[in-house]
Amino acid sequence: MAWEDRTPFDAILFQFNLKEQEVIELMRRELKPKSFRLWRERVQGRKTKHLKKREFEKGRFKCSRQRSISNNSISKR
């Protein structure tokens, strides 16, 4: 969940009871050094990782083709 950019730290706290700093320590321990640095660069200051910084309250990203997806395969158009 931490690797995914749109999953907020608050959701990780709710589901796994890990605070943001604990998630960072976990990622530092489990990822390769270069992967950790890339992740930190991506996550730092990202609005979507913090619920209070998000511009929207409800909703989520929805792909324009999402409607046509059924049973894990893309339907014919």
Percentage of the chain exceeding pLDDT 90: 27
Query: Taking a C-beta distance cutoff of 8 angstroms, is the pair 9, 52 a contact?
Result: no
Are the beta carbons of 77 and 69 closer than 8 angstroms? no
The structure's pTM equals 0.61
* Residue-averaged pLDDT of the chain: 75
User: Per-residue pLDDT tens for 49-71?
Assistant: 666 655 555 555 555 555 554 55
Percent of the chain with pLDDT over 70: 58
Q: Does 1 score more than 80 pLDDT? A: yes
Q: Under a CB-based contact definition with an 8 Å cutoff, are residues 77 and 68 in contact?
A: yes
Reported as a pLDDT band with limits 50, 70 and 90, residue 28 is: very high
